Chain A
Amino acid sequence: MADNKIRVALTGNPNVGKTTLFNVITGSKQHVGNWPGVTVEKKSGFKIYKGYEIEVIDLPGTYSLTAYSLDEVVARDFIVDEKPDVVIQIVDATNIERNLYLTTQLMELGSKMIIALNMYDLAEERGDKLNVEKMKEILAMPVVCTIASDNVGISELLDTVISEKQKDDHHAWRIGYGDEIESKILEIEKVLSQDSELASKYPLRWLAVRLLDGDENILNKISGSIIASEIKNILASLDIEEYEALMADKRYECINALFPQMCERCMTRMTTSDMIDRVMTNKYLGIPIFLALMWGAFELTFSFASPFMTIVEKIFLWLGEMAAIHIHPDWLASLLGEGIIGGVGSVFSFIPNIFILFFLLSLLEDSGYLARAAFIVDRIMYKIGLQGKSFIPMLLGFGCNVPAIMATRSIEDRMDRMATIMVLPFISCGARLPIYILFAGTFFSKNAGTVIFCIYLLGILVAVTSAKLLRTTTLKGHPAPFILELPPYRIPTIKNGIRHMWDNGSMYIKKAGTIIMGGSVVIWLLAALPWGVEYGSENSFIGIIGHSIQPLLGPLGFDWKISVSLLFGFVAKEIVVASLGVLYGVGDDHFALTDSLLADPNMHSITALSLMVFSLLYMPCIAVVGIIKKETGSWKWTAFSIAYGLIVAWLLAFVVFQGGMLLI
């Protein structure tokens, strides 16, 4: 049985086409989850090929296996602990030299390896002359040319996987580190071999090399062993930093010596990518272009999505009506129609935004512009205590804070990451948009767009100020170093965009959907109980709660209805609108709600403004709280995030409302 099952791990540098290859191989048979214990995404999938069941695991993209970041630890541990049958390293054919650095490290892990020489089309187009046969010979492992984006070379790759699996032995080529280091490696290896358990689990040479490389992660791994102290003694007698440099040197030296044989004519001329960059990062034009592109993405996400949102809303409205007509008794119809269908509706009405946003982000990322964005804004982000890489999560935050906070994983430094997570909830996510649309649309009809834009700006401003504040207090210190590859510009593919959009969209439904729906049912129950009370009236539970917190919010201009809906905005911000609909007794009907709001003497434009400011800032929704807890691993930080948001929101809304009243 085990014979026709093959486990294949995909590794490689970032941006070499790993995900593309993974998608091409597994098609739709894939599963996205997390690596156990850590918050790095794990993608695995299956492929039935020539009677074999091939399991493919997409490891995080890394430049090396030196355990600099969580991604690297995950990738490495998978290969050494889980021992996949075959490891495929995807190598960017246009950047072989640096890619081979990872190869030199992978080889030491002692698994069967295949090189997939991807982006072969780009290398050829550039005029490179790659000697694949020579490469196979030198590296002593199969090399398969692929063009993942065009589905070229995939079956050959899979054939190679099968034949590798059947081979008993595997390649023996390895880097020689020179006499001095080699003698140390041998010495350590000898000590390590005394622990037979260790010896059966890991390749000893690799362990020795890692230890000489000053790898703390490996030190921890062997700390339980009987030989731990002996190893520590040996290491203590050496200048590890020196060794580290020497070994990195050796690896590159080796590559330098071999590389010219593999690639006879590799181009390093001014390419299209350089030309584009000249403009995109131009001293004067770079920033305006950046802002314009961001604005364009923003405009599309929100304007182009609107008809789709309307369609979804209409469908759910119709479903609700159907429920009201066909279901008896009335309370059940109401629970289904207003509570559940309304709740599901508010989850889904929101999908178009999220889908378009992730589609555009994927285009930006695949085109290579996102890295330039980090390059361009790093100076500013650094000034406010964050770094260029924080920008991408912040941008994602405009769609939904949940994936945004997950995206902070690309920030290696923990302090940088914490600071980014803490300020992210101030970035106005799409879920808050329905609130702005309702109130800006109702009270500022002519200037609704401008008002909403200003609210977004305010969110950014608060985030920036908070970052600065955090950096001078709790998270004192400078942001971590910024060392970022700027990948060449490429024409992004629609297919990738759609997949990215689908993955993230469905994640949103799963993560946020259940909570939002649950919230809608709770709101319905609170509004309908105690038994017999008029739905959503002042005597219902909801009215009672609203009245009791209203004094706190009175100075901001909010009456009990608003207080209630804000309370339920804790569950998910878009529920604010849904619950106002319930409270005004108009259900899902947007236009009736607009009319009711305009007719309400308590509501005027200043209240609306104050309310928008408050909803922008007051606290992350439950889904975000959950993800903050998960990503920071600390209840203290989670509580801090909630409390800080509430305080800032109250203060600013107070200023807006009282200031506005004075001006009128």
Chain B
Amino acid sequence: MVESTLNDLRPGEKARIVKVLAKGTVRRKLMDMGMVPGSEVEVVRTAPLGDPIEFRIKGYSLSMRKQEAANIVVETIA
């Protein structure tokens, strides 16, 4: 198991959230949207211009910029 941040994953890769480093409202928003430690995330694709990224979490699609994704520490799973 390798730890990295969410923005480093490639489309198709799956990971489990370890920690959310963001602070303040960003953190709260991420939690509200299901980005809590333990959740499984899959990278679906990046936008045509390379940013933002689309993730699948808890059965729905969520998109965020790479800089936000960089605040989420994950461990990759198969």
Contact = CB atoms under 8 A, between A and B. Distances in A.
A/B contact in complex, CB under 8 angstroms: yes
Interface of A: 63-64, 66, 68, 94-95, 97-98, 101, 241, 244-245, 248-249, 252-253, 266, 268, 274, 277-278, 281-284, 286-287, 375-376, 378-380, 382, 388, 412, 481-488
Given A63-B33, A68-B25, A485 B51 contact: no
B63 A248 contact: no
A412 B25 CA distance: 10
Nearest to B55: A486
27 contacts: A66-B28, A68-B28, A68-B29, A68-B32, A94-B59, A98-B34, A98-B59, A244-B28, A245-B31, A249-B36, A268-B56, A277-B61, A281-B48, A281-B54, A287-B48, A376-B48, A379-B49, A379-B50, A481-B64, A481-B68, A482-B65, A483-B64, A484-B63, A484-B64, A485-B61, A486-B61, A487-B61
A109 B44 CA distance: 36
Which 7 A-B pairs rank lowest in CB-CB distance, beginning with the nearest?
A: A286-B48, A379-B49, A248-B31, A64-B32, A486-B61, A97-B58, A63-B32
Contact of B30 (A253, A284, A483): A483
Interface in B32-78: 32-34, 36-39, 44-45, 47-52, 54, 56, 58-65, 67-68
B64 A486 contact: no
Find the residue from A68, A287, A375 having the highest chain B CB count within 10 A.
A375
Nearest to A250: B36
Interface in B1-47: 20, 23, 25-34, 36-39, 44-45, 47
A378 B50 CA distance: 10
Contacts of B23: 241
A458 to B, nearest CB: 24
B52 A375 contact: yes
B45 A281 contact: yes
A68 B25 CA distance: 6
Given A378-B47, A378-B65, A481-B65, A97 B29 contact: no
Nearest to B48: A286
B52 A101 contact: no
A375 B68 CA distance: 14
Contacts of B65: 378, 382, 481-482
B25 A376 contact: no
B57 to A, nearest CB: 8
Contacts of B67: 481
A375 B54 contact: yes
Interface centre among A277, A281, A284 (most CB of B within 10 A): A281
A268 B34 contact: no
Nearest to A486: B61
A581 B56 CA distance: 58
Given A484-B63, A485-B60, A252 B32 contact: no
A591 B70 CA distance: 61
Nearest to B59: A268
B38 A249 contact: yes
A481 B36 contact: no
A283 B48 contact: yes
B44 to A, nearest CB: 8
B30 to A, nearest CB: 7
Contacts of B62: 483-486
Nearest to A288: B48
A616 to B, nearest CB: 28
B48 A284 contact: yes
A486 B34 contact: no
Greatest chain A CB density within 10 A among B28, B29, B32 is at B32
A493 to B, nearest CB: 22
Contact of B63 (A63, A68, A266, A482): A482
Contact of A481 (B26, B32, B51): B26
B32 to A, nearest CB: 4
A98 B58 contact: yes
Given A68-B25, A283-B48, 20 more contacts: A64-B32, A97-B34, A97-B59, A244-B28, A245-B31, A248-B31, A248-B32, A249-B37, A268-B59, A274-B44, A278-B45, A284-B48, A286-B47, A378-B51, A379-B49, A380-B49, A481-B68, A482-B64, A483-B63, A487-B60
Contacts of B20: 245
A477 to B, nearest CB: 14
Contacts of B64: 481-484
Given A241-B23, A286-B48, A486-B54, A95 B60 contact: yes
Contacts of A98: 33-34, 58-60
